[in-house]
Amino acid sequence: MWKVYKWNGHYIMGDLVSEHSTETAALKAAKKKLKYARSEKSTLQAFKSRNETVIWLDAANGTPLGLIIKKTNKKSKKIKGDATASTE
């Protein structure tokens, strides 16, 4: 689930604006509500180790406006029938 947060004057992840199932829907909602000029997907190892995808949203002058975050579960899911392979 992608979550769009707005800077509330104290925290960058201050107020929850909306939740979306796709990244493009989250970006569209953020563009409409936050009116950001730049977005950048974070490549920091700290987020990768916590299984998070973060997109920073900034104004044209670089002022932070908010962020979009998705926490992913890295556990592998087993598909029925995949666990055993036939050797016939």
Domain assignment of residue 72, yes or no: no
> pLDDT, tens digit, for every residue of 44-81?
898 888 899 999 999 999 999 999 999 988 765 555 65
At 34 the pLDDT is: 94
pTM confidence score: 0.77
Instruction: Report CA-CA distances (Å) from 71 to 2, 38, 63.
Output: 8, 22, 24
Domain assignment of residue 62, yes or no: yes
Among 2-6, 24-28, 84-88, which is the least confidently predicted range? 84-88
User: For residues 85 and 70, which has the higher predicted lDDT (pLDDT)?
Assistant: 70
Domain assignment of residue 53, yes or no: yes
What is the residue range of 48's domain?
2-67
At 78 the pLDDT is: 55
Domain assignment of residue 88, yes or no: no
Domain assignment of residue 38, yes or no: yes
Domain assignment of residue 86, yes or no: no
Domain assignment of residue 82, yes or no: no
Instruction: Give CA–CA dist 52/78, Å, rounded.
Output: 22
Q: Is residue 70 within 8 Å of 55, Cβ to Cβ?
A: no
Domain assignment of residue 83, yes or no: no
Overall number of domains in the chain: 1
> pLDDT, tens digit, for every residue of 5-33?
999 999 999 999 999 999 999 999 999 99
